[in-house]
C-alpha cells in the first residue's frame, strides 16, 4: 500500500467513459425512443474522453498500484481506438436508422467495449491485461449476436464466444505459468526478473507461459493460426458491428501485444521473435491467398484484415523504436482505409433486397454510381498498397525497419504477399468498371456517412503530403521511443 489515495488524474478518460456508459444506460431505460439521443451522447462522451486522454500528457506515469500506465504510446493508441469507436457508433446509427432493429443498448455496449480497449492499452500488469480483454470481448460477443432472430448473427456470436472463451483460458494459463515462475504479474517486475536472465537460459516455464499468452493475444488480433473465427464472425455480424470489429479491437490488441512483448519480455526477444515471425508470415500468406476465392465482400474484408495484421506484426519483429513506429503508422492508416471502405459496404443497399454484400452486386457500379465506385477504387488501391496512396506508406514504414534489422527473406515474403493481395483488391475495381451493370443501389443520403467517406478518401489520397503525414509520423516517433527504451 504505497499510496493512500491513488493518482486518478491519468485515468480520468477511462473513469469518465465508464460513468458515461452507465449514464447512457439510464437515459436509454427511462426515456422512451431515445436511441438517437443515446448514440449522439455516446459520440460526445467518446470525444470528451479523447480530450481527457490528450490532457494526460505523454510522460510515463504509473498509478493504481502500478496496474495502470500512461505514456506517449498509450496516448497515441487510445486516440486511435476512440476515433475508431466514435466513427463506428455514428456509422451504426445511420445503418440502424434504415434497417430498423433500433436499440439503445447497442451504443452503450460499444462504449463499454471501448473502455475495455482503453484498459487493454494502458495495462501494466497481466491481471489488468486480462480484465481489459474480458471487458472488451464480452461486449463484442453480445454485439456479434445482436440481431438475435438472424441465424447467421447468432452463429457468429456463439462461435466468437466459444472460441474467445477458449483463447482466454489459454491466455490465463500462460499468465499463471509466468506468475508461478517469476513471482509477479506486474510488467515492470517481470522486466526486472527477465532482465537478469542470460540469453537462452530462461526457465522453460516462463517461455511456455509467454507462448501461451502470445497465443491468446494472437486470437484477439486474429493472426494465423488463430484466425478461424474471423471470416465467419465478420460475415455473420451486422455490417456496422463488422466495421467496429475490424478496427478498434485490433488496434487495442496490437498495442497490448506490443507492450507485452517489449516491456516485460523485451529481453526474451530471442524466444518470442520466432513465434511472431511465423504468425506474421502465415497471416500475410493466408490473408492474400484465401481472399482470392471469396465472393462475399465482408468475408473478403475479414481475410484482408488477417493479411494486414500480418503486416503490422512485421513491425514488432524489428524489435526497435523504428518498428514500433511502423506498427503505429500502419494501424492509423489501416483505420482510415477500413472505415472508408465499410461506409461504402454499408451503402450497398437495394430497394427490394435491402442490404447486399456480394462482390457480384458491385458489378458495373461505375455506370450507376460513379462517385461510390471512385471511392471504393481509392480504398481498394490503398489497401493493396499502390503508391502514392496511404496504404503504400503503411507497408513502407513496417518493411523498412525489418530490412534495416536484416530480415531480408521476411521483407521479400511481405512484398510478394502484397502483390498477391493486390490481385483481389484490384479485381473489385475491375468488376466495378468493366462488368455489365447490376441493379442500382439506393443512393446514400446520410450526411455523416458522406462526410466520413469523403474525409477518409481525402486522407488516403493526401497522406503523401508532408502536412498530413508529418504530425502522424512525429507523434508515432516520440511515442515509439518511449516504449522501446524500457
**Footprint on this chain of another protein (rule: CB under 8 A):** 1, 6, 18, 22, 25, 64-65, 67-68, 103, 105, 108-109, 112, 115-116, 119, 127-128, 131-132, 134-135, 138-139, 141-142, 145-146, 148, 157, 177, 181-186, 189-190, 192-194, 196-197, 203-206, 208
CB-side neighbour CA atoms (13 Å) of 50: 15
For the record, the C-alpha cell of 97 comes out as 436508422
Nearer to another protein, 65 or 296 (CB): 65
Minimum gap (Å) between residue 77 Cβ and another protein: 18
Minimum gap (Å) between residue 208 Cβ and another protein: 5
Minimum gap (Å) between residue 418 Cβ and another protein: 36
Contacts of 231 (CB under 8 A, 6+ apart): 294, 299, 302, 303
Q: Do residues 245 and 306 lie in contact, with contact meaning Cβ atoms separated by under 8 Å?
A: no
Minimum gap (Å) between residue 130 Cβ and another protein: 9
Geometric angle at alpha carbon 236, from 230 and 238, rounded to 5°: 110
Nearer to another protein, 154 or 481 (CB): 154
Kindly give the residue spans of alpha helices, DSSP state H, lying in 56-186: 72-99, 105-121, 126-144, 151-182
Alpha-carbon distance 93 to 419, whole Å? Answer: 36
Nearer to another protein, 99 or 435 (CB): 99
Burial track 74-91 (b if 16+ CB lie within 10 A, e otherwise)? bbbbbbbbbbbbbbbbbb
Q: Do residues 133 and 171 lie in contact, with contact meaning Cβ atoms separated by under 8 Å?
A: yes
Minimum gap (Å) between residue 35 Cβ and another protein: 13
Geometric angle at alpha carbon 110, from 446 and 276, rounded to 5°: 110
Nearer to another protein, 172 or 359 (CB): 172
Nearer to another protein, 238 or 294 (CB): 238
Alpha-carbon distance 266 to 272, whole Å? Answer: 9
Nearer to another protein, 212 or 379 (CB): 212
For the record, the C-alpha cell of 118 comes out as 482503453
Minimum gap (Å) between residue 76 Cβ and another protein: 22
Contacts of 382 (CB under 8 A, 6+ apart): 333, 337, 389, 390, 391, 392, 460
Minimum gap (Å) between residue 1 Cβ and another protein: 5
Cis amide linkage into residue 388, ω under 30° from 0: yes
Minimum gap (Å) between residue 6 Cβ and another protein: 7
Nearer to another protein, 165 or 293 (CB): 165
Minimum gap (Å) between residue 48 Cβ and another protein: 19
Minimum gap (Å) between residue 198 Cβ and another protein: 10
Nearer to another protein, 192 or 296 (CB): 192
Minimum gap (Å) between residue 157 Cβ and another protein: 8
Residue among 285, 163, 140 at smallest CA distance from 216: 163
Nearer to another protein, 211 or 461 (CB): 211
Alpha-carbon distance 428 to 434, whole Å? Answer: 10
Whole-angstrom CA distances from 28 to 112, 130, 396 are 15, 29, 46
Nearer to another protein, 139 or 418 (CB): 139
DSSP annotation of 31 reads S
Minimum gap (Å) between residue 185 Cβ and another protein: 6
Minimum gap (Å) between residue 174 Cβ and another protein: 12
Nearer to another protein, 128 or 382 (CB): 128
End-to-end CA distance of the chain: 25
Nearer to another protein, 46 or 366 (CB): 46
**Which residues are 69's β-sheet partners?**
62
Q: What are phi and psi of 361, to 5 degrees?
A: -70, -20
Contacts of 82 (CB under 8 A, 6+ apart): 46, 47, 49, 50, 53, 114, 118
**Which residues are 315's β-sheet partners?**
none
Nearer to another protein, 84 or 119 (CB): 119
Q: Do residues 263 and 319 lie in contact, with contact meaning Cβ atoms separated by under 8 Å?
A: no
Amino acid at each position: 500500500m504505497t499510496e493512500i489515495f491513488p493518482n486518478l488524474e491519468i485515468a480520468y478518460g477511462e473513469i469518465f467513459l465508464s460513468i458515461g456508459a452507465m449514464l447512457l444506460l439510464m437515459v436509454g431505460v427511462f426515456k422512451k425512443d431515445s436511441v438517437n439521443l443515446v448514440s449522439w451522447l455516446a459520440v460526445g462522451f467518446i470525444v470528451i474522453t479523447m480530450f481527457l486522454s490528450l490532457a494526460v500528457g505523454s510522460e510515463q506515469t504509473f498509478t493504481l498500484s502500478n496496474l495502470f500506465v500512461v505514456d506517449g504510446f498509450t496516448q497515441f493508441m487510445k486516440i486511435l481506438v476512440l476515433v475508431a469507436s466514435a466513427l463506428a457508433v455514428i456509422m451504426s446509427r445511420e445503418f440502424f436508422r434504415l434497417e430498423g432493429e433500433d436499440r439503445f443498448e447497442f451504443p452503450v455496449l460499444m462504449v463499454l467495449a471501448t473502455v475495455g480497449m482503453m484498459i487493454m492499452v494502458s495495462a501494466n500488469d497481466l491481471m489488468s491485461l486480462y480484465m481489459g480483454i474480458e471487458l472488451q470481448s464480452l461486449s463484442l460477443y453480445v454485439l456479434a449476436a445482436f440481431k438475435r432472430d438472424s441465424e447467421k448473427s447468432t452463429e457468429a456470436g456463439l462461435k466468437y464466444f466459444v472460441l474467445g472463451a477458449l483463447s482466454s483460458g489459454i491466455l490465463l494459463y500462460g499468465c499463471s505459468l509466468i506468475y508461478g515462475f517469476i513471482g509477479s504479474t506486474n510488467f515492470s517486475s517481470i522486466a526486472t526478473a527477465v532482465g537478469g536472465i542470460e540469453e537462452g537460459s530462461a526457465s522453460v516455464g516462463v517461455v511456455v507461459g509467454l507462448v501461451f499468452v502470445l497465443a491468446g493475444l494472437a486470437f484477439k488480433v486474429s493472426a494465423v493460426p488463430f484466425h478461424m473465427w474471423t471470416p465467419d464472425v465478420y460475415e455473420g455480424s451486422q455490417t456496422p458491428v463488422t466495421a467496429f470489429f475490424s478496427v478498434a479491437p485490433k488496434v487495442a490488441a496490437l498495442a497490448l501485444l506490443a507492450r507485452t512483448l517489449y516491456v516485460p519480455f523485451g529481453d526474451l526477444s530471442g524466444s518470442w521473435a520466432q513465434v511472431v515471425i511465423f504468425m506474421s508470415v502465415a497471416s500475410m500468406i493466408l490473408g492474400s491467398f484465401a481472399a482470392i476465392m471469396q465472393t462475399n465482400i465482408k468475408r473478403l474484408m475479414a481475410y484482408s484484415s488477417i493479411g494486414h495484421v500480418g503486416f503490422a506484426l512485421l513491425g514488432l519483429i524489428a524489435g526497435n523504436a523504428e518498428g514500433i513506429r511502423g506498427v503505429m503508422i500502419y494501424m492509423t492508416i489501416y483505420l482510415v482505409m477500413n472505415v472508408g471502405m465499410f461506409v461504402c459496404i454499408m451503402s450497398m443497399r437495394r430497394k427490394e433486397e435491402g442490404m447486399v454484400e456480394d462482390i457480384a452486386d458491385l458489378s458495373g457500379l461505375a455506370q450507376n454510381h460513379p462517385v461510390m465506385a471512385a471511392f471504393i477504387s481509392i480504398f481498394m488501391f490503398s489497401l493493396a498498397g499502390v503508391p502514392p496512396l496511404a496504404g503504400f506508406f503503411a507497408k513502407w514504414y513496417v518493411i523498412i525497419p525489418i530490412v534495416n534489422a536484416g530480415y531480408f527473406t521476411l521483407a521479400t515474403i511481405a512484398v510478394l504477399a502484397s502483390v498477391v493481395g493486390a490481385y483481389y483488391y484490384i479485381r473489385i475495381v475491375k468488376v466495378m468498371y468493366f462488368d455489365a451493370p447490376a441493379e442500382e443501389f439506393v443512393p446514400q443520403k446520410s450526411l455523416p456517412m458522406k462526410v466520413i467517406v469523403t474525409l477518409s478518401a481525402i486522407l488516403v489520397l493526401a497522406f503523401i503530403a508532408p502536412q498530413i503525414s508529418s504530425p502522424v509520423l512525429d507523434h508515432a516517433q516520440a511515442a515509439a521511443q518511449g516504449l522501446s527504451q524500457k
